[in-house]
Structure 1
Amino acid sequence: MALAGARKVIVQANIWRRADETLRRLADGLLAEKLGRVQAATLIYGNGLHNNGFHMIDLTRMLLGEVEAVQALGPVLPGPHLPLPGDFDLCFALHLASGQIVLAQPVDFRDYRENGLDFWGSNGRLSVWQEGLTLRPRPPPRQSRHARRARDCQRRARASANHGRRSLWRMYDNLADAVAGRAPLWSPGDSALQVERVIAALEASLAAGGAKIEVSHA
Structure 2
Amino acid sequence: MLRFLPLKVGRLYRCLKLLLVVGLFVILLMNTHSLFASFQKNELTDRRFINLNKCPACFGTSWCRKFMNGQVSFETWGRLRFLDVFNVKNVYFAQYGEPREGTRRVVLKRLGSNQELAEIDQKICKRATGRPRCDLIQAMYKTEFARINGDVRLLTPEVVEGWSDLVHCPSQRLLDRVVRRYAETKDSGSFLLKNLKDTERMQLLMTLAFNPEPLVLQ
Name the TM-score class by shorter chain: under 0.3
User: Normalised by the size of structure 1, how large is the TM-score?
Assistant: 0.24
Comparing both structures, which one devotes a greater share of its residues to strand?
A: 1
Q: Structure with the greater relative contact order (CA < 8 A, sep ≥ 6): 1 or 2?
A: 1
Structure label with greater radius of gyration:
2
Comparing both structures, which one devotes a greater share of its residues to helix?
A: 2
User: Normalised by the size of structure 2, how large is the TM-score?
Assistant: 0.24
